[in-house]
Structure 1
């Protein structure tokens, strides 16, 4: 509804009409000026009313008809606009503007491209040096294909001519880029410089920026894209486009992640990018719908927004491939996949078509091919040379599922899961989806949608993180002691087969190497609570290549310590060899015992290959004992098994003496014969000895003057049967009657070959 002011203007103009005959030259400009003011305020319906007054009063004014046509064109009333433009052109046959108006209106109408071209060509004859006209003629070679638009190559010469006439043209560079990017040939690399030049000319050209970034991503030119966006971002006017920083972040994050393997900074860049996104776009990056299993989704959909945020944090924390790093590499990869889907699979459907669903779950397939026509044709796919990929496709085509439709199809093969997924553009609109259901029972069983449903049920998502080196096998054992300041001391011992280190003076290194180790503790809510890192070495590499036969017996061992508050944790341990770059990451659960009380307490049991008293300092020395750990907890029967532990808070009597009983029971986990162990080092006076087919129990009484004595003993396993055992240690304070119990599992090997262990630090 017109405002009071605009109504007032219209009435003034209306009552002025009778006098126009006396002052026509003054009245027409006032009408046109009034309409132009309304045009500038985008009040086109009100402007139309003013221009109709002008046309009625001045029917032979070409400008009044032209302005009325433009007001109608702005309201998408193209047929009415064309009528006014044609009247205008008849009144002024030398003016190209009405012909341009006709062409623009036809250009917007279906199947009228030829009529639009004819109108623009008429304008071209009147103004051959007008760059806009050349640009418009080029646009008439575009085809509308459903929701897609393809720009014909025949339009290129007109866009180039427009740029010859006006190198700073506001759209010609952009349209020229579209003839490469959105043409049947799809040459993204050639489109990039045209979009870039468009943005150098018009830095706030939003569509050119969108297309530039998409082409850069499609051609894997992320680093080049960062440089381009940075350069454009310095130009005046670029600040008007809020997407500059978002796109810069997207490109830079991928450079950091894929090119430089810097997940930490990539995570920060993605975070900044998400902060700048509107909520509608951001939700595609944070939603768990396409990655979480059914049980998590059920919980997620019922949760409040705050609880959903916590569920997302836990979901990704549980899938962190390397908990020893600060950043979650899996989450960074998820952001990259969503970005990829938005850029590659969203041209015809928002936020993406079916390809985006699959890509976000499982990442880049091992092979992706696009073919035209039915997949039953033997020539439908080209062999890749990768045996497993080709065999999956061949088995699927011959024995499982063949798509018989026409049009373009894509074949995605994931070797890890042994599946081929067929996706079809059934309607030629660029939207790929599962093919329609089939009647054949066999093919229905292996229909792509059925295969994907089964795969999602087994693996809701998948990711193989590149650790930057071959896998390293190692074993570790964790022992806790009482620490200072109410803390628990955690000792982690490593055992690494030396064969994995290569050998001295091989093609990758010299005689020595070192290990970089990282240990992280997370609570049961997966929050990081403690960590430590240590460079271990130098460590001697084997002098000669070790055969597989002796790989397990020739090991290198190391140890590191950290402190934490008492509690239950998830521990992650990572070790990397500095020369081979091999890396091992292992996760386990840890109970950090609470030693912060005055009651009787007992450290964990440490099993060792050797314990030597009287040591002063050095590696593996604790309270005067040199304790060579055996992190594998596997022992040969030819050597004794050594035990070390510490007692805390033994009470003293009036003579300042402690008194306690030690019960050691060794039990075989499976019922077999010959559970025979003899103790070398006494733990006091032996007061009880019992043995049967399944266990051995010995009890000792001890006394002393120290409330927190370290203890050690040795066991001879020579006559025992190989197998899995548990050693259970019970300490009883004879003054108070308090007892405390700890246990440890170990393995007795069926091999009398002596182990070759080389503890080197």
Structure 2
């Protein structure tokens, strides 16, 4: 897993304070550089030959730089005996002693070096190093380091060490008028040495951490500080990719304050600068942050791809956490998934998520995206004490973020009427009040002993550990979180009982009052949560981002090219839903449309997006009479594969932000083959020949779609269809008979009573019309208008049967429409 979890604020990275100073003649310029932390033990490898020409001081320095401090010590002591007045000899002896944690002796050596040459900066730096490590000697360290900086102001390392003396100050150690942290020294250090291995990191800490001067500032007041910290941490990573903490600090700020967009922006800049060599950790973190940014903007199509890319970058064990159904599936599905293997297991998993897709009109699965987001959040925020996450994480994965979440410290024997500050949300406050008065009352101790535990609540290891921890505390208290889910009328408590970062339900308590025990047991968080999980293992309500958009849509199919079928999607949208221009949303709008065909297991088999417009919006509010009849009609053709599908469509109005999603089963015929076929019957409000192109034109006819299929009594019902594979005689002519039959819905057509052949109407409500036609092509275009003046209002079924008079083959189609009493 990418190391981006929040870390305790107490965690620090301060490199080994020992400095390898390249010493020249005492009067010459000096340069300092920090080195890696090295062991104080003597090397166990084969002994190296000592150059015969090296002096004791040079040999001691050589061994010191190899990390062989014990061996170096004897040579440096000899160097001091050889030249008692040489400041460098005393300095290097002090450094060897410092590395061996013999601080008092090291300090004396550094003081001797200063006495030998008080104008030589390294001696003062050595004193500062020892003082920094000693308790209550920071002021002495700063005094020594100020002297060194006065002697050598251009040393980045000296500036850096001085900055460290101002870090991690308790309130008592902070003096009025002094620097609250070391930022000015770290800033100077990176100006002098932009490639310093730790100064950028310490500068980031100064901007991130709250010092005494910032105690009255809110998070929003420190936004600029946090951005400075992000920049510093990434700069440190660029110059020192091996730094152990800088990326975690960077990610910690982004997660705590949801600075995902800014974090992604900085990571993109870094990836561009390191094009071709950007480490996997940077690319993975960028993918994660982009996913979280798109989550806020609800770009689900990009978000799913980004999340899946991120998950694939994780190790297999971590990928399993995201794929696990344990905290979302009902028992029967979970059992089937756990029992299955290989492709069968994958199919159970895919079917589970397909069935929960919130918007079937989109290719992406919004519910699965939400699951990935929840798991990611749980891994980042609820995994410190337990893998993959504690009880809070389980509830978060199941039900998402609570409507309110509070954290507080609850102490032994404290009154359960803890100060519940009002949230401003009446529903949340009412649930907490009701739970306090008539539900579960938080209790952590009974009588004079630690929490009484009912058998089975915890195991004996936890029992022993808990009692040991409790006795170590003089005033034991526990961190508690209260979560409220308003839709479930539920408050849950989670307690860090063992003080190890793992939160779970409170332990059950024992009391001598039976009624209290019954109530506590009945409303215990564990019990309430179990009841909710039994009813609903997981819950998600998708936010479509606007009010509902109502419209009618219809699907008709025709023969397409090759193995494809032409599917026409027609829509009719009441114009009043576009709002009016006085709402300030513009004079015109656009409609975003998306259509998807899903197969038997609800996987997308076809998807296409369209954008219609510009469409003029109403200039004023539409009257109720106009609202009933004024509609905007549009249509589009697509090429799709044949088969049985669920068709799902989405229409979104950009101005009003209304959105509507509908689905219906559809059979897409396969028009390949040589047998007689009829296309779907397309109902229309008007069909006229035309030589022009247009959205409603097909085969030289302008066919105005009528997806609503509702006609006024007496209004002509237009119908269009195509006939395929008519038999041609030797002269190339065709001959066929067409029968139109209209029946009230629920009354079988005459074909069911005459062996499949159209017969005479069985009652006065059935209309049968028969025509004989001839043509010169195997495919014919047919349309007609049906007079409905003599039909009463109601729902009718139109059956069209075509018989090829040369072969005797018959083909039939049917559709329905509504007659309204005008």
CA distance in 2, matches of 1:664, 1:56: 116
What's the offset of the Cα at 1:256? 4.4
Contact 1:141 1:155 in 2 (8 A): no
- Alpha carbons of structure 1 residues 508 and 173: separation in structure 2 relative to 1, 3 Å: closer
Contact 2:362 2:607 in 1 (8 A): no
Contact 1:370 1:411 in 2 (8 A): yes
Task: Compute the TM-score of the two structures, normalised by the length of structure 2.
Answer: 0.66
Contact 1:642 1:715 in 2 (8 A): no
For 1:173, which of 203, 214, 222 is the aligned residue? 203
CA distance in 2, matches of 1:408, 1:352: 17
- Equivalent residue for 2:761? 689
- Equivalent residue for 1:562? 638
Indicate whether 1:366 and 2:366 are aligned. no
Paired residue secondary structure (1:160): coil
CA distance in 2, matches of 1:556, 1:516: 14
Contact 1:159 1:173 in 2 (8 A): no
- Alpha carbons of structure 1 residues 51 and 194: separation in structure 2 relative to 1, 3 Å: same
- Equivalent residue for 2:28? none
For 2:649, which of 560, 567, 573 is the aligned residue? 573
Contact 2:796 2:818 in 1 (8 A): yes
CA distance in 1, matches of 2:276, 2:188: 19
For 2:495, which of 419, 424, 427 is the aligned residue? 424
CA distance in 1, matches of 2:287, 2:205: 26
Indicate whether 1:473 and 2:545 are aligned. no
Deviations 1:602-629 (A, max 9, x none): 2223344x45565665664545665444
Deviations 1:334-355 (A, max 9, x none): 5554444444445565654444
CA distance in 2, matches of 1:237, 1:53: 50
What's the offset of the Cα at 1:556? 3.0
Paired residue secondary structure (2:675): coil
What's the offset of the Cα at 1:497? 2.0
What's the offset of the Cα at 1:555? 3.0
Contact 1:649 1:708 in 2 (8 A): yes
What's the offset of the Cα at 1:535? 1.9
For 1:222, which of 248, 255, 260 is the aligned residue? 260
- Equivalent residue for 1:535? 612
- Alpha carbons of structure 1 residues 133 and 326: separation in structure 2 relative to 1, 3 Å: same
- Equivalent residue for 2:135? 117
- Name whichever of 486-495 and 312-321 sits farther off: 312-321
What's the offset of the Cα at 1:380? 0.6
What's the offset of the Cα at 1:154? 5.3
Contact 2:128 2:142 in 1 (8 A): no
- Equivalent residue for 1:160? 181
Indicate whether 1:501 and 2:568 are aligned. no
- Equivalent residue for 1:107? none
Contact 2:391 2:504 in 1 (8 A): yes
What's the offset of the Cα at 1:558? 2.4
- Equivalent residue for 1:44? none
CA distance in 1, matches of 2:582, 2:141: 78
Indicate whether 1:489 and 2:566 are aligned. yes
CA distance in 2, matches of 1:235, 1:715: 73
Deviations 1:204-241 (A, max 9, x none): 34423322332233223334434555667788999797
What's the offset of the Cα at 1:560? 2.0
What's the offset of the Cα at 1:562? 1.7
Indicate whether 1:601 and 2:677 are aligned. yes
- Equivalent residue for 2:153? none
What's the offset of the Cα at 1:279? 5.0
- Equivalent residue for 2:423? 383
Paired residue secondary structure (2:47): helix
CA distance in 1, matches of 2:233, 2:744: 79
Contact 2:382 2:389 in 1 (8 A): yes
Indicate whether 1:704 and 2:774 are aligned. yes
How many residues align structurally? 683
CA distance in 2, matches of 1:253, 1:532: 22
- Alpha carbons of structure 1 residues 357 and 552: separation in structure 2 relative to 1, 3 Å: farther
- Alpha carbons of structure 1 residues 718 and 414: separation in structure 2 relative to 1, 3 Å: farther
Deviations 1:726-758 (A, max 9, x none): 55555454544444443435556xx62x2xxxx
Contact 2:576 2:621 in 1 (8 A): no
- Equivalent residue for 2:296? 258
Paired residue secondary structure (2:296): helix
- Alpha carbons of structure 1 residues 185 and 335: separation in structure 2 relative to 1, 3 Å: farther
What's the offset of the Cα at 1:476? 0.8
What's the offset of the Cα at 1:437? 4.2
Stretches of structure 1 that go unaligned for 5 or more consecutive residues are: 14-22, 40-46, 71-80, 105-115, 143-150, 670-674, 679-684, 755-761
- Equivalent residue for 2:461? none
- Alpha carbons of structure 1 residues 703 and 399: separation in structure 2 relative to 1, 3 Å: farther
- Alpha carbons of structure 1 residues 187 and 342: separation in structure 2 relative to 1, 3 Å: farther
Task: Compute the TM-score of the two structures, normalised by the length of structure 1.
Answer: 0.71
Residues 500-649 of structure 1: pairs in structure 2 closer than 5 A:
500-503=577-580, 505-508=581-584, 515-524=591-600, 526-531=603-608, 533=610, 535-536=612-613, 538=615, 541=618, 544-547=621-624, 551-608=627-684, 610-612=685-687, 620-623=696-699, 627-635=703-711, 637=713, 639=715, 641-649=717-725
Paired residue secondary structure (1:485): coil
CA distance in 2, matches of 1:713, 1:238: 67
- Alpha carbons of structure 1 residues 401 and 499: separation in structure 2 relative to 1, 3 Å: farther
Contact 1:687 1:699 in 2 (8 A): no
Deviations 1:461-520 (A, max 9, x none): 5555554543211111111122343432212221212321234x4334677655343333
Paired residue secondary structure (1:377): coil
CA distance in 2, matches of 1:237, 1:628: 55
What's the offset of the Cα at 1:293? 4.9
CA distance in 1, matches of 2:653, 2:529: 39
Deviations 1:512-554 (A, max 9, x none): 655343333344462443535252564674864233x774444
Contact 1:522 1:571 in 2 (8 A): yes
For 1:193, which of 228, 232, 240 is the aligned residue? 228
Indicate whether 1:9 and 2:79 are aligned. no
Contact 2:547 2:657 in 1 (8 A): yes
